[in-house]
């Protein structure tokens, strides 16, 4: 029998491009073509109905990625899913939370107790922040997950990433890195073995991870303290993917450069010294604080009324990068949380 001719053709070398190779940023860039221009520039979409502006936001929470049974009780999963969603609405300028639609996927062997816990956690968060469960859907699936869509009305200030301006001051509504520290504590991360952390910091960190608070009060204060002579214009986002990604988002959408003071990183009280800790402050993620680009007088007014808020830098003319204020021009790199990292 003659050997089969199996010389490879060029097609045999062609491998389809996967999400893991693309990465999240490129995926989002490509998906924009399917929506109206600018529609997907912010996390939250805006709808005008009878001169009432509504905000709508969807967030996915997937077992093993956004939570795990080891570190997050069912109640905490429900609370965090709602809090993360409302954080996006807060960072867009929500007034009243209307409610949420809940898409639930879970394998058939999931105990009812877990589902009940998740709904109790969601209920507790809605009781605290406003809104009700409007509706939803559920399905069998291999992996537990929640797909939550939250709706709210828009207040006087529509925050956009792209509304940052050169000359603005960069301010945040609270400390960053706590949630990541909380996760490390819950996971008994070896990095913590030789560090004596104050109990108060440990408790605050675990609370920040399990029961995060959307920055609705900080938003309310921001609206109240606006100097009368200023227009309703501010750049804003939340730090659910970490402080650095939030600032990078402001830069990319507004076309400005951000300058951060390394001594002004928004560390928590009694935050230990050391560069690995500061990485968590920059890249830890799930901080759910407001990250704002404000005219100086508005920033001053806000810092005065919000005790936990602080200034971290400023925006200037320049390519959309984040640099240190030490004059070196060094671009601050990101160990970006990659949703589609190939394992």
> In the range 31-90, which residues lie near its own copies by CB under 8 A?
31, 34-36, 39-40, 42-45, 47, 49-52, 54, 56-60, 62, 64-66
Q: Select 133 or 325, whichever has its Cβ closest to its own copies.
A: 133
**Nearest by Cα to 77 from 107, 85, 285:** 85
Q: Which two tokens stand for residue 278?
A: 């500061």
- Subset of residues 123 to 162 that bind its own copies, contact rule: CB under 8 A: 123, 132-143, 145, 147, 149, 151, 153
Provide, rounded to whole angstroms, the least separation between the CB of residue 263 and its own copies. 35
User: How many chain residues interact with its own copies (CB under 8 A)?
Assistant: 78
The span from the CA of 310 to the CA of 307, in Å, is 8
Q: Could you say which of 11, 12, 70, 113 contacts its own copies (CB under 8 A)?
A: 113
Provide, rounded to whole angstroms, the least separation between the CB of residue 117 and its own copies. 11
Provide, rounded to whole angstroms, the least separation between the CB of residue 107 and its own copies. 8
Is residue 110 a contact point for its own copies (CB under 8 A)? yes
Quick check: 251 and 146 in contact, CB under 8 A? no
The span from the CA of 147 to the CA of 103, in Å, is 5
**Nearest by Cα to 206 from 188, 181, 189, 176:** 181
- Subset of residues 206 to 225 that bind its own copies, contact rule: CB under 8 A: none
Q: Select 67 or 298, whichever has its Cβ closest to its own copies.
A: 67
Contacts 24+ apart (CB under 8 A), 295-298: 295/165, 295/167, 295/168, 295/169, 295/227, 295/230, 295/234, 296/167, 296/168, 296/169, 297/227, 297/230, 298/222, 298/225, 298/226, 298/227, 298/230, 298/234
**CA 9 distance to own-chain centroid:** 46
Q: Select 147 or 192, whichever has its Cβ closest to its own copies.
A: 147
Q: How many residues are there in the chain?
A: 343
Is residue 24 a contact point for its own copies (CB under 8 A)? yes
Is residue 227 a contact point for its own copies (CB under 8 A)? no
The residue ranges of DSSP E strands in 155-309, in sequence order, are 169-172, 235-238, 257-260, 290-294
Q: Select 51 or 263, whichever has its Cβ closest to its own copies.
A: 51
Provide, rounded to whole angstroms, the least separation between the CB of residue 299 and its own copies. 28
Q: Select 52 or 275, whichever has its Cβ closest to its own copies.
A: 52
Q: Select 69 or 270, whichever has its Cβ closest to its own copies.
A: 69
């Amino acid at each position: 029998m003659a050997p089969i001719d199996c010389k490879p053709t060029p097609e045999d070398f062609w491998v389809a491009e996967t999400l893991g190779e693309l990465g999240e940023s490129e995926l989002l860039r490509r998906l924009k073509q399917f929506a109206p221009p600018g529609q997907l520039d912010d996390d939250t979409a805006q709808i005008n109905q009878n001169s009432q502006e509504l905000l709508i936001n969807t967030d996915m929470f997937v077992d093993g990625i956004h939570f795990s049974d080891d570190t997050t009780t069912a109640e905490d999963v429900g609370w965090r899913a709602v809090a993360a969603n409302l954080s996006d609405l807060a960072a867009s300028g929500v007034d009243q939370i209307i409610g949420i639609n809940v898409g639930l996927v879970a394998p058939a062997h999931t105990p009812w107790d877990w589902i009940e816990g998740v709904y109790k956690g969601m209920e507790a968060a809605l009781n605290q922040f406003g809104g009700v469960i409007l509706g939803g859907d559920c399905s069998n699936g291999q992996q537990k997950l929640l797909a939550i869509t939250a709706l709210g009305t828009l207040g006087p200030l529509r925050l956009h990433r792209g509304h940052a301006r050169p000359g603005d001051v960069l301010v945040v509504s609270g400390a960053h890195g706590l949630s990541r520290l909380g996760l490390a504590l819950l996971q008994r991360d070896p990095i913590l073995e030789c560090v004596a952390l104050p109990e108060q910091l440990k408790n605050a960190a675990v609370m920040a991870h399990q029961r995060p608070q959307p920055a609705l009060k900080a938003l309310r204060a921001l609206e109240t303290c606006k100097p009368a002579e200023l227009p309703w214009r501010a750049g804003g986002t939340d730090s659910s993917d970490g402080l650095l990604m939030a600032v990078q988002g402001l830069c990319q959408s507004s076309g400005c450069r951000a300058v951060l003071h390394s001594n002004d990183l928004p560390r928590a009280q009694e935050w230990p010294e050391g560069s690995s800790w500061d990485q968590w402050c920059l890249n830890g993620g799930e901080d759910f604080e407001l990250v704002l680009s404000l005219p100086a007088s508005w920033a001053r007014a806000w810092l005065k009324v919000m005790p936990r808020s602080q200034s971290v830098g400023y925006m200037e003319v320049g390519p959309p990068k984040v640099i240190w204020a030490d004059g070196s021009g060094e671009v601050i790199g990101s160990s970006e949380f990659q949703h589609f990292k190939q394992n």
